[in-house]
């Protein structure tokens, strides 16, 4: 296996062509091209790499380069050579217009790639499918037939959503397997590429202090929280077909749960890690309707200006009951986690933007300070917080004597805030994941069976919500979300962190 970015001597032995399918779209501009530029800037791409944008929109190479240039930043450095690097990068970017279901158009792309790969005959080809899911399989069919590499590897990164229930997932999966092998499919969940999520296994398995506590014996509950302080803004058309459970909970938050709760894998190999994640998902009970709360944001007028509600988005049907907020309690029925509630909460247009894991520990048995100082055990419980974003960090809430002659206890933080500790800018998740795909490292990509089980656990409750027409509880834009989420937490003896 070639490992780019790590072994410079391999750099000129092979060519790499990266095709961004759906290059005219939002994700390509916002995330994929900036990530590719950052990798180039950090010398992580091989010497002979080229990037090809592919979509139906008509444009020439120069227009395409202008489109990319508008989204590139020099966040990695303030060095004066950034402009020069951008120009070098843009010189390697080309655009090919074509239809998604056309072998002939992909063959034309292949000829263009072959010119770019010459004089090297052997090239690796990576296709990033940044397109709506209804055309994934058409592209997989045409690209693999007409544009795959003849002597190097061909890989495809596939974006979520991977279906909208068990049935559509299986259909999508069967279709993809008609054209690609499992080892060619890289199903991306960009949360797995986030620095703090990568660190989760290090925290657990490279420290003695956490792993012994990592079970029902010491942990009361685990909360995985995702909150955004903006609405669906421009993505309402897509979002309304999926809703927050499919958009965030069933994938990003569930993947975090699986990594958090898995047993120690036999090794750090992708298959060992993914085997353990699948076991956690299999041990999970099906999500029950009574353990789910759904909400939808409504407009809010504040200081004379109005923040629009979900239904004010023109691309959303007027009576939509699609949830923009959901909280659910799930249980992993194995020896380690039996009875511990995992609360997953995600919402758009809330009061803050944050993603974090909160681990609340049990009370200290026979706590000496409860009687003496009237310590509130609930407030004084230890809590480990892994802040995924923003202001990445890890902190542990501990009880500490306030210095001085008296005896007072303060609940304070042992705090590892990344920006105070590390100087390096954190790589974007897409940088890590694209590089991993180039290097054939599948650890942070999702295997088919993980998704199969994930859908099995969520499909029945999603169907029930839809068939019963459960009305979401309305919450004002910028608020903390529906009160129902507090009742749900209280029912399971949980206090949201």
Q: Annotated catalytic residue: which of 190, 252, 351, 492?
A: 252
Least distance (Å) between residue 454 CB and ligand NDP: 16
- Partner whose footprint covers residue 453, from ligand NDP, ligand BG6, none (CB < 5 to 8 Å by kind): none
User: Under rule CB under 6 A, which residues in 329-348 are in contact with ligand NDP?
Assistant: none
- Residue (107 or 213) nearer to ligand NDP, CB: 107
- Partner whose footprint covers residue 247, from ligand BG6, ligand NDP, none (CB < 5 to 8 Å by kind): ligand BG6
- The residue range among 24-32, 202-210, 303-311, 481-489 that interacts with ligand NDP, by the rule CB under 6 A, is 24-32
Per CB under 6 A, 59 contacts ligand NDP: no
Q: How far is CA 219 from CA 213, 334, 429, in A?
A: 7, 14, 29
Sheet holding 123-129, edge to edge: 93-97, 48-55, 15-21, 123-129, 154-158, 185-187
Q: How far is CA 467 from CA 135, 289, 462, 470, 482, in A?
A: 27, 12, 9, 8, 22
User: Under rule CB under 6 A, which residues in 143-162 are in contact with ligand NDP?
Assistant: 159-161
- The residue range among 76-84, 129-137, 147-155, 473-481 that interacts with ligand NDP, by the rule CB under 6 A, is 129-137
User: Under rule CB under 6 A, which residues in 285-324 are in contact with ligand NDP?
Assistant: none
Q: Residue 298: in which H helix or E strand, if any?
A: strand 292-298
Per CB under 6 A, 484 contacts ligand NDP: no
Per CB under 6 A, 236 contacts ligand NDP: no
- Residue (258 or 355) nearer to ligand BG6, CB: 355
Least distance (Å) between residue 447 CB and ligand BG6: 19
Residues that bind ligand BG6 (CB under 6 A): 190, 228, 247-248, 355
Least distance (Å) between residue 59 CB and ligand NDP: 9
Residues 6+ apart with CB under 8 A from 103: 142, 145, 146
179 is catalytic: no
Q: Is 186:304 a contact under the CB 8 Å cutoff?
A: no
**Rounded Cα distance, 8 and 45, in Å:** 10
Per CB under 6 A, 57 contacts ligand NDP: yes
Residues 6+ apart with CB under 8 A from 355: 191, 225, 226, 227, 387, 388, 389
**Rounded Cα distance, 38 and 186, in Å:** 21
- Residue (38 or 109) nearer to ligand BG6, CB: 38
**Rounded Cα distance, 139 and 127, in Å:** 10
Least distance (Å) between residue 358 CB and ligand BG6: 17
**Rounded Cα distance, 113 and 146, in Å:** 12
- Which residues would be at the binding site for ligand NDP (CB under 6 A)? 22, 24-28, 30, 55-57, 100, 130-133, 135, 159-161, 238
Q: Which residues are catalytic, by number?
A: 252
């Amino acid at each position: 296996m070639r490992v780019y970015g790590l072994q410079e001597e391999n750099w000129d032995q092979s060519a790499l062509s990266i095709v961004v399918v759906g290059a005219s779209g939002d994700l390509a501009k916002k995330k994929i091209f900036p990530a590719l530029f950052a990798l180039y800037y950090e010398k992580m791409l091989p010497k002979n790499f080229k990037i090809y944008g592919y979509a139906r929109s008509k444009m020439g190479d120069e227009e395409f380069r202008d489109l990319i240039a508008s989204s590139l930043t020099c966040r990695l450095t303030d060095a004066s050579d950034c402009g020069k690097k951008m120009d070098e990068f843009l010189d390697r970017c080309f655009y090919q217009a074509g239809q998604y279901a056309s072998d002939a158009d992909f063959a034309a792309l292949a000829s263009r790639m072959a010119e770019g790969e010459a004089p090297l005959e052997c090239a690796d080809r990576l296709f990033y499918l940044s397109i709506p899911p209804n055309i994934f399989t058409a592209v997989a069919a045409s690209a693999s037939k007409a544009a795959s590499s003849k002597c190097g590897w061909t890989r495809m990164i596939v974006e979520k959503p991977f279906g909208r229930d068990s049935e559509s997932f299986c259909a999508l999966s069967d279709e993809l397997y008609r054209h690609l092998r499992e080892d060619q499919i890289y199903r991306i969940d960009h949360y797995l590429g986030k620095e703090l999520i990568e660190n989760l296994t290090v925290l657990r398995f490279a420290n003695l202090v956490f792993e012994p506590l990592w079970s029902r014996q010491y942990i009361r509950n685990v909360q995985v929280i995702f909150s955004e302080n903006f609405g669906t803004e421009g993505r309402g058309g897509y979002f309304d077909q999926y809703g927050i459970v499919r958009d965030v909970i069933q994938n990003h938050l569930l993947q975090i749960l699986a990594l958090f709760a898995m047993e120690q894998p036999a090794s750090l190999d992708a298959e060992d890690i993914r085997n353990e994640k699948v076991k956690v998902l299999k041990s999970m009970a099906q999500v029950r309707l009574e353990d789910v709360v759904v909400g939808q944001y409504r407009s809010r007028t504040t200081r004379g200006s109005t923040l629009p509600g979900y239904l004010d988005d023109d691309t959303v049907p007027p009576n939509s009951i699609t949830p923009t907020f959901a909280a659910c309690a799930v249980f992993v029925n194995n020896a380690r986690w039996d009875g511990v509630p995992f609360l997953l909460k995600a919402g758009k247009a809330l009061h803050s933007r944050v993603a974090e894991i909160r681990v609340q520990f049990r009370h200290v048995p026979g706590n000496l300070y409860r009687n003496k100082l009237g310590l509130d055990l609930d407030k004084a419980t230890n809590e480990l917080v892994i802040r995924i974003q923003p202001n990445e960090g890890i902190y542990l809430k501990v009880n500490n004597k306030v210095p001085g002659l008296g005896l007072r206890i303060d609940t304070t933080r042992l705090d590892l805030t990344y920006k105070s500790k590390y100087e390096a800018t954190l790589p974007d998740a897409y940088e890590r994941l694209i590089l991993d795909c180039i290097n054939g490292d599948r650890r942070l990509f999702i295997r088919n069976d993980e998704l199969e089980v994930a859908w099995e656990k969520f499909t029945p409750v999603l169907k029930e919500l839809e068939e019963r027409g459960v009305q979401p509880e309305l919450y004002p834009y910028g608020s903390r979300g529906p009160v129902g989420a507090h009742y749900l937490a209280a029912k399971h003896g949980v206090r949201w962190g």
